Every structure is written in structure tokens, then in C-alpha cells.
Amino acid sequence: MSIQNVTDEQRAFVEAIRDFAQRECGTREQRDALTDHGREPHNQPLYERIADLGWLGAAIPEEYGGAGGGAVDLCLLCEEFARGLIPMGFFPVTMMAARPVELFGSRALKEDILGGIVAGRTGAIAMSEPEAGSDVGNLSCRAERSDGAFVINGQKTWITGAHVAEQIVVVCRTTRSDDKHHGLTMISVPREIEGLEIRGIETMGGREVNDMYFTECVVPEERVVGGVDQAWMQLMAGLNNERLIIAAQALGMAQRAFDDVLAYVKERRQFGRSIGSFQTIKHRLADLATELQATRDLVYGVARAVEANPDRMLPREASMAKLKATELAKRTALEGMQMMGGYGYATEYDMEAHVRHTLVTTIYGGASEIQREIIARSLGL
């Protein structure tokens, strides 16, 4: 790790995570046992042990049981659990769902949800619908007031971790107007509530995402996060956090793919020498190492900017970090597979899993095409 201006405490934090990863997930046999041979990205018993160490609350305010850290601490945790292949795959989305609660939720919701994260509970956030993916403002899942509650009807799709989440922050349509971004409301919905059905969607990455079906699902109005009809503004306020989390996770994925292929090319021999000694291989790795360092500087530079001014929106910088880190993760895994040849394609090695898991990072949390549009608009284009 080469990050500028990291404190001694943060370096110790990173070392502790690496030691844990090596001890608990350091072998393929350990990881297969924890993930049902790669099918399950999240192991709840292990996650609760990590909660006991206090790490899940790294960026949760102290008044709710956390350590009170900032964006850099959160990025360090997300990068290192991805690099160490620790199966805590629903932590990133848990923190994304927590951000609007931290910023806009009631005291009771904060104690429940933020305190729950520190204790080892997971959460989810539900925005996407069959006709509203990148176009979030087009969503139609509706919530109507009724006797001190909201009644939700409609469908959500591609919802990460909803099947194990304690609660899901659902973005609903509460008012219709000419402005499609007006009239959206966030509601924290308990997973076990009557009127909600969750069905898994099979993916390349295993059991990750879900369809959610609401049928006359009654949720008390005290579970509204922030203001009624104010969800769009609340979503925008959390974008720095969301994109940084994904960027840091993707950075860890890229670093692990790089570490794995680097170790392989040093050991694999052809024509009487290690294949890493051939120019075509070592120059590829030199380029990837340079890209990794540049991306790390970008991601942590944005994290520090967020810490310096938490209320400031950084749409261009956060989009750049998300775009660069996720595209690099995908590229590193694909190049790693190419350099490993047939062994990179074999399930005996982790590289084929790196490819499967990095591909989706350029899609969720705002596809790369959307990030480029945001960056281009900031240039007046």
C-alpha cells in the first residue's frame, strides 16, 4: 500500500485486516468453505466476528457505537476486505444504505440502523426497477399514506443483499408531478415485513441480487428516512459516499488480481525461464502497477476532499474515482487471465473469479457510461 498521509493508526488498521484475511481466508479451502465454493459472497458468522473487532463501525459516528472515522477509514476497510477476499460482500451496500439515514434519518432510525451495522447487521438500498435503472427518476413503485403509515405496491429489481438485510431503504414514488425527480421518498422497510416477497436472481457472481415485490405492504410512517418527497435530494447528497465505496472496493479487487498474476508469472516457467522475465509480460505488469498507484492516489484524494468538506458535492471527482477504479479492476483481471493462459480460465485458480466479480463493478452504482456523462457535463459538454 502506498497512500500519502496515512496515520500510524490507519496503517495498523490495514495490517490488522491483512492479518485477519490471511488467517481466516488465506487458503482456497478456507474461502470455499466460507462461500459455498464461491456461490455466497457474504458469510454472516464471519461478518459478526469482524463486528466484534469493531471494524464495521469504522465510519459510524461514536454516538451510535462506531469509531467516528471518515471517508479514508471507510475506503481502507473496503479496499482491504476486497484485496483479502474476505467474504463480507454486503458491507459496501450496507454503508450506502446507511448514509441517507445518517444524514437525514430520525434519532430512532439512526440508533436502529447505524447501531445495527456496528453490531453486525446488514442493510440494502432499493432503487432500480424494471423500467428505471440508470434513469432513477422514472421509478414507479408507489407508497401511499394510510392511517399513519405508507402502503407500498410495486417491484424493485437488482437489489444487492436484500435477502439477508435486516432492513432495506426503499425509494418510492409518493407524489406525481411534471418533475420526475420530485415526489420520491425513502422508507426503511424491515425484510420480514408482511407484503414483501424477495426472490433471488442468479448471476455470474453467485447469490448477490434480488427482485422485490410489494403487495399492500404497510410500513409505519416513522420509518420514513428524511422528508416525504425529498428522496432525490437525499440520494444526491450520498453520491460521494456511494461512489467512493465502490471505487475503494474495486481498487482492492484490482490489487488482488495484480498480486495473483504477479506471483504466477514469477513461478511459471517456459523456454527455460520464468514468463515474467519476457518483455511482453513485464511491461504489461509495469503499466498495471502504474495504473494502480495513480488510481489509489485518485480514490484517496477524493476521500480526503470529502473529509475536508463533508457537505460539499463532488460529482466529477467521485465519478472519476468510480470510473477509473472499476475499469481498472476489470482490465487487471482480464489481463491477468490472459497472462496466465489456460490456468487463468481454470477454476483451480482465483483469476476466473476475479474476472466474474470485477465485470459488474462497471455496471452497478452507476454504469461507466453514466459516470462519463457526469464528467463530460462538468466540462461543459
The pLDDT tens digits along the chain (381 residues) read 567 678 999 999 999 999 999 999 999 999 999 999 999 999 999 999 999 999 999 999 999 999 999 999 999 999 999 999 999 999 999 999 999 999 999 999 999 999 999 999 999 999 999 988 777 778 889 999 999 999 999 999 999 999 999 999 999 999 988 888 899 999 999 999 999 999 999 999 999 999 999 999 999 999 999 999 999 999 988 888 999 999 999 999 999 999 999 999 999 999 999 999 999 999 999 999 999 999 999 999 999 999 999 888 899 999 999 999 999 999 999 999 999 999 999 999 999 999 999 999 999 999 999 999 999 999 999
Please list, residue by residue across 330-346, b when 16 or more beta carbons sit within 10 angstroms of its beta carbon and e when fewer do: bbbbbbbbebbeeebee
Q: Do 339 and 354 share a domain, yes or no?
A: yes
Give the number of other Cβ atoms within 10 Å of residue 218's Cβ.
14
Q: In angstroms, how far is the first alpha carbon of the chain from the final one?
A: 36
Domain-located, residue 368: yes
Domain extent at residue 352? 238-378
CATH of the domain at 202: 2.40.110.10
Choose the final residue of a domain: 65, 89, 113: 89
72 domain residue, yes or no: yes
* 68 and 24 assigned to the same domain: yes
Residue appearing with cell numbers 409505519: 220
Q: Which of 191, 218, 234 is the last residue of a domain?
A: 234
**Is residue 17 helix, strand or coil?**
helix
Report yes or no on 118 lying in a domain: no
Among candidate residues 362, 283, 285, the one with its CA nearest the CA of residue 328 = 362
- Examine the domain organization and report whether 265 and 299 are in the same domain: yes
- Same domain membership, residue 310 and residue 250: yes
Cβ-in-10-Å burial (0-12, 13-18, 19+) of 233 comes to: middle
Residues in the chain: 381
- Is residue 113, in this structure, part of any structural domain at all? no
Q: Which of 151, 129, 126 is nearest to 140 (CA)?
A: 129
pLDDT at 1: 54
Considering the domain architecture, whether residues 230 and 251 belong to the same structural domain is answered as: no
Whether 114 is covered by a domain: the verdict is no
In-domain check, residue 247? yes
How many other CB atoms sit within 10 Å of the CB of residue 376?
12
| Number of Cβ atoms within 10 Å of the Cβ of 37 | 12
Among 216, 234, 252, identify where a domain stops.
234
Q: Based on the fold, state whether residues 286 and 230 are members of the same structural domain.
A: no
Instruction: Tell whether 262 and 159 lie within a shared domain.
Output: no
For the chain, the domain total comes to 3
Whether 277 and 352 map to the same domain: the answer is yes
- What own/partner pairs with CB < 8 Å and gap ≥ 24 does 16-22 have? 16/53, 17/55, 17/76, 17/77, 17/80, 17/81, 17/84, 17/86, 18/80, 18/83, 18/84, 20/50, 20/53, 20/84, 20/86, 21/80, 21/81, 21/83, 21/84, 21/85, 21/86, 22/84
155 DSSP β-pair partners: 213
Pairing outcome for strands 142-145 and 224-225: unpaired
CATH number of the CATH domain containing 244: 1.20.140.10
Are 130 and 142 within 8 A, CB to CB? Answer: no
Residue 70, domain member (yes or no): yes
Question: What are the start-end ranges of the E strands in the chain?
Answer: 123-126, 142-145, 149-156, 167-173, 184-190, 196-203, 206-220, 224-225, 269-270, 273-274
Judgement on whether residues 227 and 292 belong to the same structural domain of the protein: no
* Dihedral of the alpha carbons of 280, 285, 288, 292, in degrees to the nearest 10: -170
From the list 366, 359, 42, the residue with the least C-alpha distance to 210 is: 42
Say if CB 155 and CB 212 are below 8 A apart: yes
- Residues 247 and 223 placed together within one structural domain of the fold: no
CA gap 150, 141 in Å, rounded:
12
Cα separations in angstroms, 218 against 35, 168, 215: 35, 14, 9
**95 domain-assigned:** no
Does one domain contain both 324 and 245?
yes
Do 223 and 352 sit in the same domain of this protein?
Answer: no
Q: Is 62 exposed, middle or buried (0-12, 13-18, 19+ CB in 10 A)?
A: exposed
266 vs 288: CA distance, rounded Å: 16
DSSP 367: -
Give the pLDDT confidence score for residue 71 in this predicted structure.
95
